[in-house]
Amino acid sequence: MFLEVFLFVGALLLILYLSLRYGRYIKTQYQGPKQTYDLSIPETTVITPTDFTWTLAPCTLRFAIYVDASPKTVMTVDCIDHKAEAPEKFAPDCANYSYRPCKCMGTDCGRCALDSSDSGHMSKLLSIGEYVQLWASGYTNQNDKPYVPALLKIRTGLDSGQHYMEAIPLPTIPLQKWTMITIVKEGRRFDVYYGAKLQISKMTTYPPLNPDSGSQNITVGNKKWGGLIGMFKGTNGASYAPEVQADAHTILDTRGIPYINDPLPWSAFVLPKCFFGNCTGLPDVKPPNQFMVYQTNYS
């Protein structure tokens, strides 16, 4: 009788332990084959139209990024005089580093491309074809910070067949820190959140275009960057501040770190030391996860 009670209590304790420690994995929601991806591997497909399609209707795309390393950027970048030059180059104005729509040659937007070579100061980290792209500058010392730290590049156009490339400027993506980014499109308005905080709300000059059938995959990665990107989730509808905040509470802990559970570690089924008492040694001291450093006053 005592043995049965002992086993029953032990089983309950085991279930309680696993539920408290790993139950958060159940509520973590993401789309695509994996939860996180290596940021240094270019052109990695993370979402296909089977999971989510970016359309003309209101859309929301959420993901999280952890930048561990990036290329060194430069203090100044190529700029043009918007008053003196025709709108046929995708570059910021030398006066205030703002962007204006770059006019494509009909539907050919080759002349509105950003420089993605080693000499360019910006790198493409995410794209939905040429229709929605996330570009970011590298990092350097505070005195050499770039004027344009990050931007969304949006393909827009008219019914006549004239296309444009437009920019939505963004703040710097923090280095060595998880950042949840939510992009919300509703009509011509784009709202971009870092975490639960709205960073920018801007309307494009022309209506955003619907990606063609060959440009609907969401791809990520750049060989010059290191880190992780993941937690992708797209919804066909516009999310507002309360919904973005609730979503952040679902996928991030109180330190702003995502619940990483891909794949579910086999260590989840390994009992900690001294689970049933009878401790004879010192406990293991480990940080909460691989992205934090444990600090203690004792050596």
Query: Tens digits of per-residue pLDDT, 187-223?
Result: 999 999 999 999 999 999 999 999 988 889 999 999 9
Is the confidence at residue 19, as pLDDT, over 90? Answer: no
Is the confidence at residue 282, as pLDDT, over 50? Answer: yes
| Secondary structure element (H or E) that encloses residue 218, with its range | strand 218-220
Quick: pLDDT tens for 145-162.
Answer: 445 689 999 999 988 889
Quick: pLDDT tens for 2-11.
Answer: 666 667 667 7
Reduce the DSSP state of residue 179 to 3 states and report it.
Answer: strand
> In degrees, to the nearest 5, what angle opens at C-alpha 226 toward C-alphas 224 and 229?
115
Per-position DSSP letters for 68-137, written without gaps between them: EE-----S----B-TTTS-S-S---BTTT----PEEPBTTB-GGG----STT-SEEEEEEETTTEEEEEE
What's the CA gap between 253 and 204, in Å, rounded? Answer: 34
Provide the 8-state DSSP code for 223.
Answer: T
pTM exceeds 0.85, yes or no: no
Is the confidence at residue 14, as pLDDT, over 80? Answer: no
Residue type, 64: A
Q: Select the highest-mean-pLDDT range: 13-27, 84-98, 168-182.
A: 168-182
What mean pLDDT is reported for the chain? 81
272 vs 113: which has the higher pLDDT: 113
Per-residue H/E/C for 25-78 = HHHCCCCCCCCEEECCCCCEEEECCCCCCCCCCCEEEEEEEEEEECCCCCCCCC
Spatial CA neighbour of 194 closest among 205, 204, 207, 183: 183
Domain positions in the chain are 24-251
| 67 bridge partner residues | 175, 227
> In degrees, to the nearest 5, what angle opens at C-alpha 170 toward C-alphas 141 and 212?
130
What's the CA gap between 258 and 132, in Å, rounded? Answer: 24
Domain spanning 24-251, CATH class = mainly beta
